[in-house]
Structures are given as C-alpha cells and as structure tokens.
Amino acid sequence: MKLLSFALSGAIALSSTMTVFAKDVRVAKIGHGVTEAAALHKGLTHFAELVEKKTNGSLKFQVFPNQQLGGDRELIEGLQFDSVDVTAEFGALCQRVFCF
C-alpha cells in the first residue's frame, strides 16, 4: 500500500511538472529585506504583475519580502548560485542598486 501511494504521488508530481513545461512558464524569485508595507515591496509586486500581464503569463515573479530568502549576504550568494533570480538590495554589498 505504501509503495502504491509513493508511486502515485511520484506520478502526480511528474505530471504537474510536465504541465508547467508544456505551458512554457518561467517562474523567477525576487527576494528583499523590507516589509510588505514598504514602497519597495509594493513596487516589486506591481512589477511582477505587469511582467505577467505583458508576457501573457509566460514569465512570473514570486516576491519574497522580510528576508524570507535570506539576509543581504544570502541574497547576493543566491544570485550567484541561481537560488534567487532578482534582489533589490539596500545594503553595503550593492550600494542601493537592483541586482540581477
């Protein structure tokens, strides 16, 4: 019974992955360290909505506020290791620029 449920969950995961590839949807992560009430977060959320609309849903951004993906250093390292796609960094590491 456990083997059947494991195989079934694997098949569901594989079919959902195939659906994502069939639609050619790219999902990118934006991480930052400010709260959801900050203008930066609201601007990034609006940017994500505009990109999704202009690309007809083929490119989507997920915005992670409040250092959910890490602090300043972790976000910069995440860019290097492809765990983060975009960060809006205000620390000394980037000197107030958007990092891609």
Q: What's the rounded Cα separation, in Å, for the pair 77 and 66?
A: 17
Contacts of 64 (CB under 8 A, 6+ apart): 29, 30, 31, 32
Q: What confidence tens digit (pLDDT) does each residue in 6-58 have?
A: 333 433 443 343 345 557 899 999 999 999 999 999 999 999 999 999 999 99
Residues in a beta bridge with 89: 97
Residue ranges making up the domain that contains 51: 24-99
State the total domains in the chain: 1
Half-sphere exposure of residue 26: CA atoms within 13 angstroms, side-chain side = 5
Res 91 pLDDT > 90: no
In a domain, 7, yes or no: no
Side by side, the strands of the sheet bearing 97-99 are 59-64, 26-31, 86-89, 97-99
